[in-house]
Amino acid sequence: MHESAEGVRWLCLDIEHDELSLTLSATPTAGVHAATPAFPTHLLRPSTSTTSEFGFAEQTFQEDGMSVTWLPPGQYIATLPKATIYGCFFVTDQDDRPIQLRAAHNPAVWQWPGGNLDDPGETPWGCAVRECMEETGLRVADTPRLLAVHFLPPLDGWTTHKVGLVFDGGRLDHDQIGRIVLDPDEHTEVAIRTVAEWRTQMSAFSFRRLAAVAEARRSGSACYLEQSPTS
């Protein structure tokens, strides 16, 4: 394929008369700015076309003697890394002290109300609402406000990537906290501590996540958290 002196290639899609054309050009599309020298536009035309079981056209393109095959979505997805998604709530009391739940499977682990998407039609927000109801008996928020995106690589026997969305569950008053009903299969205790007090109760990364999300809430922003295998 051709590229500019700076190594920038522009890919333009053009569909005319039911025929797909891929154009590599040094000229950027509208709204894209780059200083690249001009060179002749190169056009790719499909040399073969078949219909896959998914109903998508499977095209093979020829360029300079090289064959480029576009896979149907199902086949292409099978080549990609897999990931699970979780949704949860960050909740505090009226004094902004984080509320966490002690995990039944491991007393050393403190968690926020939430869990993994377990239905193809579920969204991260819907998952957070459902899991919070199951784990506390409360619906803590009606409108999604994102505080953090959390990415984890495969860790500790978990064989896929994991992506979490942390939503703001608000500030619970004394009455709401008193109405929390735990699922004993999930959690055994509710605890309320200041951010500083939580430091000695959690792993280093879990505390960094807690502190970052608390700051995102305080500042009215959102944060991105990335966990490495050595965190």
What is the structure's pLDDT at 230? 64
Tokens of 157: 């026997």
What is the structure's pLDDT at 35? 40
What is the structure's pLDDT at 34? 40
Quickly count: other Cβ atoms within 10 Å of residue 228's Cβ. 10
CA dihedral 218, 220, 223, 208 (to 10 degrees): 0
Where do the CATH 3.90.79.10 domains begin and end in the chain? 83-226
Yes or no: say if 146 and 222 are a contact pair by the CB < 8 Å rule: yes
What is the structure's pLDDT at 65? 63
List Cβ neighbours of 203 (8 Å cut-off, separation of 6 or more). none
- Using CB atoms within 10 Å of the CB of residue 79, give its burial: 0 to 12 exposed, 13 to 18 middle, 19+ buried: exposed
Coil, helix or strand at residue 147: strand
CATH topology for the 83-226 domain:
Nucleoside Triphosphate Pyrophosphohydrolase (3.90.79)
Return averaged pLDDT per consecutive 10 residues of the chain, 231 residues in all: 40 38 41 39 44 47 65 91 96 98 96 96 97 98 97 87 97 97 97 98 94 98 86 55
